[in-house]
Amino acid sequence: MRSRRTVDVPALVEQAAEGNARAVARLISLVEDASPVLREVMALLAPRAGHARVIGLTGSPGVGKSTSTNALVAAYRRLGKRVGVLAVDPSSPFSGGALLGDRVRMQDHATDDGVFIRSMASRGHLGGLSWATPQALRVLAAAGCDVVLVETVGVGQAEVEIASLADTTLVLLAPGMGDGIQAAKAGILEVADIFVVNKADRDGADQVVRDLRYMLSLGDRRTDAQWRVPILKTVAAKSEGADEVVEAIERHGDWLAATGELDRRRTARAADEVEAIALTALRERIGDLRGGANTGGLDKLAGRVVAGEIDPYAAADELVAAVTA
């Protein structure tokens, strides 16, 4: 546990804004730990919002997310862009594995100071990664990243939520993964802005593309004003197709900006974040009313509920009144 006193927040933010990788890593650790200095960090980061495009990358285990991320980083570097990578693991309450992951991932880009790569797990956050991720994104944006790739495992509901944090969400599939299309059915289809069929040199890749095309044809997303979700083929291990994916991301970015959808997505994302922080603050106020010393305290109300003197809704009304007094 780091003491609050040991963190010189303004200096740390200054260093991160200058692109110091250690300072960036330190700030993201503060985010992971839900450090009490985060409020100060975010206040200092606010005027340094930057212009990072946030790209979500999701898919089932085994579709080649890490390889694809590496190929995309290389493609963006060829364009001279500064790139951040945030690999989030919604299932892990620990970051031990994440640290190992960092080292493995760093190999291709370890010596490139135009790339920040960071794995993240939510240790202390009540709101979990849906709260921590935008804060980490804010750090990477302030550090001058033009693009941040947010990589998540495409299993369950968590990744759909995290995908919603991105400006553009890529859903990766691969042939020979029985669950690829099933995953798509279970909500992934809704969040995908771009489909990437990786391992396209393998048997069955064209079938995956056909299946996706068929499913997209069933949806009603194809009106003129809406984005036509492209389906791209890549062989990330051979860096094939990454430039085309970057082009599609750029086209999607143009569409987002032209339709006002970019503002809408970013505003909705910020609203979720502000709401989560506000709810935590309100929860803490309620927590302060536990203990019974307070006459309007929660324990006293609970005792009256147990005694059948009031019902829990009436008690909750009194509690809300006490919290908002």
Pattern 90-119, its own copies, x by CB under 8 A? ------------------------------
Interface with its own copies, residue 273, by CB under 8 A: yes
Identify the residue among 134, 144, 154, 175 touching its own copies (CB under 8 A).
134
- Between residue 296 and residue 315, which ones bind its own copies under the rule CB under 8 A? 298-299, 301-303, 305-315
Identify the residue among 176, 214, 282, 294 touching its own copies (CB under 8 A).
282
Sign of CA dihedral 122, 127, 132, 137: positive
Identify the residue among 79, 226, 271, 296 touching its own copies (CB under 8 A).
271
Contact 117, 102 (CB under 8 A): yes
The piece of 14-22, 102-110, 185-193, 268-276 that touches its own copies (CB under 8 A) is 268-276
Structure-token pair, residue 249: 């991301």
Identify the residue among 98, 155, 237, 323 touching its own copies (CB under 8 A).
323
User: Token pair 């324990």 is at which residue?
Assistant: 299
Q: Which C-beta is closer to its own copies: that of 11 or that of 320?
A: 320
Compute how many other C-beta atoms are within 10 angstroms of the C-beta atom of residue 103: 11
Q: Residue 196, CB half-sphere, CA atoms under 13 Å: how many?
A: 33
Q: Which C-beta is closer to its own copies: that of 140 or that of 229?
A: 140
Nearest distance, CB of residue 139 and its own copies, angstroms: 12
Q: Which C-beta is closer to its own copies: that of 36 or that of 176?
A: 36
Structure-token pair, residue 48: 């340094």
Phi-psi region of 62 (alpha: psi -120 to 50; beta: other; left: phi over 0): left
Size of the site for its own copies (CB under 8 A): 52
Contacts of 228 (CB under 8 A, 6+ apart): 221, 222
Compute how many other C-beta atoms are within 10 angstroms of the C-beta atom of residue 35: 19
Contact 119, 102 (CB under 8 A): yes
- Between residue 238 and residue 267, which ones bind its own copies under the rule CB under 8 A? 263, 266-267
Nearest distance, CB of residue 53 and its own copies, angstroms: 14
Interface with its own copies, residue 270, by CB under 8 A: yes
Q: How many residues does the chain have?
A: 325
Structure-token pair, residue 229: 């979700």
* CA 212 to each of CA 2, 252, 316: distance values in angstroms, whole numbers, following the listed order: 49, 19, 48
Interface with its own copies, residue 126, by CB under 8 A: no
Q: Which C-beta is closer to its own copies: that of 237 or that of 277?
A: 277
Identify the residue among 238, 290, 294, 296 touching its own copies (CB under 8 A).
290
Identify the residue among 21, 25, 155, 316 touching its own copies (CB under 8 A).
316
Nearest distance, CB of residue 174 and its own copies, angstroms: 28
Q: Which C-beta is closer to its own copies: that of 98 or that of 323?
A: 323
Q: Is 232 helix (H, G, I), strand (E, B) or coil?
A: strand
Structure-token pair, residue 261: 């959808």
What one-letter code names the amino acid at 282? L
Q: Report the alpha-carbon distance of residue 191 to residue 120 in Å, rounded.
A: 22
Tell me what percent of the chain is helix, strand and coil, each rounded to the nearest 5: 55, 15, 30
Pattern 27-56, its own copies, x by CB under 8 A? -----------xx--xx-xxxxx-------
Contact 149, 72 (CB under 8 A): yes
Q: Which residues contribute to the site for its own copies (CB under 8 A)?
A: 38-39, 42-43, 45-49, 134-135, 263, 266-271, 273-275, 277-279, 281-283, 286, 290, 298-299, 301-303, 305-317, 319-320, 323-325
